Amino acid sequence: MKKYTILILLILVGLITLGSVPATDYVHAEDIEAIELESDILDAGKSSDRGYLIISPTHLRYDGILEPGNTYTKSFRAINIGSKPITFNLTIEPFSVEDETYKPIYSQPTNHTKITDWITLPEGKRFTLEPQGGDNLDECDGCYVDLPIRVRIPIDAVGGGQYAAVMANIEPTEDEEGSSIVQAVARIALPIYSTVNGDLVYKGNIINQRITNFTFEPIIKTTSTVENLGNADFLASYHLSIEPFFGGETAYDETQEKIIMPETKRIFSQNWEDAPLLGIFNVTQEITYLDEDGKEVTDTFKRLSIICPLWLILIVIAILILFVISIIFDKKRRKAGNKKPSWEQ
Report the pLDDT value the prediction gives residue 13, as an integer from 0 to 100: 45
Alpha-carbon span 306 to 281, nearest angstrom = 6
Share of the chain above pLDDT 70, in %: 77
Local structure of residue 332 (DSSP, 8 states): H
* HSE toward the beta carbon, residue 183, CA cutoff 13 A: 20
The model's pLDDT over 232-256, given as tens digits with 9 standing for 90+, comes to 999 999 999 999 999 889 999 999 9
**30 falls in which pLDDT band (50, 70, 90)?**
very low
Predicted model pTM: 0.75
- 126 exposure class (CB count in 10 Å sphere: 0-12, 13-18, 19+): exposed
Q: Are 270 and 240 in contact (CB under 8 A)?
A: yes
Query: Which amino acid is residue 337, in one-letter code?
Result: G
Q: Are 13 and 48 in contact (CB under 8 A)?
A: no
Alpha-carbon span 143 to 79, nearest angstrom = 6
Alpha-carbon span 194 to 182, nearest angstrom = 37
The model's pLDDT over 161-178, given as tens digits with 9 standing for 90+, comes to 999 999 999 988 765 445
The model's pLDDT over 277-309, given as tens digits with 9 standing for 90+, comes to 999 999 999 999 999 999 999 999 999 999 988
- 342 exposure class (CB count in 10 Å sphere: 0-12, 13-18, 19+): exposed
Report the pLDDT value the prediction gives residue 71, as an integer from 0 to 100: 97
Alpha-carbon span 33 to 254, nearest angstrom = 13
**338 falls in which pLDDT band (50, 70, 90)?**
low
The model's pLDDT over 168-208, given as tens digits with 9 standing for 90+, comes to 999 887 654 455 443 444 889 999 999 999 999 999 999 99
Residue 304: closest CA among 331, 287, 284, 318: 284
**31 falls in which pLDDT band (50, 70, 90)?**
very low
Report the pLDDT value the prediction gives residue 27, as an integer from 0 to 100: 28
Share of the chain above pLDDT 90, in %: 60
Average pLDDT of the chain?
Answer: 82
Q: Are 167 and 93 in contact (CB under 8 A)?
A: yes
**131 falls in which pLDDT band (50, 70, 90)?**
confident
The model's pLDDT over 260-285, given as tens digits with 9 standing for 90+, comes to 999 999 999 999 999 999 999 999 99
Dihedral sign for Cα atoms in the order 316, 319, 320, 321: positive
Report the pLDDT value the prediction gives residue 32, as an integer from 0 to 100: 26
Report the pLDDT value the prediction gives residue 100, as an integer from 0 to 100: 96
**45 falls in which pLDDT band (50, 70, 90)?**
very low
Q: What angle do CA 321, 326, 328 make, to 5 degrees?
A: 95
Report the pLDDT value the prediction gives residue 150, as an integer from 0 to 100: 97
**20 falls in which pLDDT band (50, 70, 90)?**
very low
**77 falls in which pLDDT band (50, 70, 90)?**
very high
Q: 325: which strand partners?
A: none
**Is omega for the bond preceding 94 within 30 degrees of 0, making it cis?**
no
